[in-house]
Amino acid sequence: MNIHNASLTISAVAPAQYPKTSFPEIAFAGRSNVGKSSLINKLLNRKSLARTSSKPGKTATINFYNIDGCLHFVDLPGYGYAQVSKEEKKRWAAMIDTYLNSREQLRCTALLLDARRSPTDDDRTMLSWIRERQSFALIFVTKCDKIAKTKLSEHLDDIYYSLDLGDEDILIPVSGETGLGIDDAWEAIRELTGVQ
């Protein structure tokens, strides 16, 4: 997809700060350091619009990215980072829950999983939440460049079967480094949001 303008609209912590726009939103959810920011940068063909960090737990706000004035990417705080305090985890959980439960513009929540790791209980909890609110799961499997091509299908099968995915679910292997799956990801995003 040819992106002309992409910018960070706001980093929000409460509904009063959410953008007052009506265009559709797609949210990106996943464990800390799963590669949400890297994928967003690759999808938007930008090097550092979404801040990336080797240190997990860096995203502590809900970041809204405006794409060509017709779509928002919404980067949610990562979950499952052990070194964050219990109070901070509760605050992040409440922030995510409020957004996901109240935002009318939200068209789809994509779950991001690391290709190198089996899904965790936290991943399953997030997937259960997603299934309650949409009839399918959209899963981007990140960091596929870190696995030998001959082993990738084995890792994807592990994710598919351990999460009991079905025909209506969408599983797309991606890489923020090589661009693997980016066209497929955009095809899914356009179909789900109605943005061309």
Phi and psi based region of residue 179 (left: phi greater than 0; alpha: psi -120 to 50; beta: remaining): left
E strands within the chain?
A: 6-12, 25-30, 62-67, 71-75, 106-114, 138-142, 170-173
- How many domains, the chain? 1
Q: In the chain, how long is the greatest CA-to-CA distance?
A: 48
How large is the average pLDDT for residues 184-189?
97
Does 188 fall in a domain?
yes
Is it the case that residue 153 has pLDDT exceeding 60?
A: yes
Does 182 fall in a domain?
yes
Does 179 fall in a domain?
yes
Give the C-alpha separation, 17 to 8, whole Å: 13
Does 144 fall in a domain?
yes
Is it the case that residue 55 has pLDDT exceeding 60?
A: no
Does 132 fall in a domain?
yes
Range of the domain at 92: 6-193
Closest listed residue to residue 172, CA positions, set 26, 39, 3 = 39
Is it the case that residue 41 has pLDDT exceeding 90?
A: yes
Give the C-alpha separation, 41 to 48, whole Å: 6
Does 1 fall in a domain?
no
Closest listed residue to residue 98, CA positions, set 10, 9, 12 = 12
Give the C-alpha separation, 71 to 95, whole Å: 21
Q: What is the CATH number of the domain that holds 169?
A: 3.40.50.300
Does 162 fall in a domain?
yes
Is it the case that residue 104 has pLDDT exceeding 60?
A: yes
Does 151 fall in a domain?
yes
**Predicted confidence (pLDDT) per residue in 73-92, tens digit:** 999 988 876 566 788 778 87
pLDDT, residue 60, reads 79
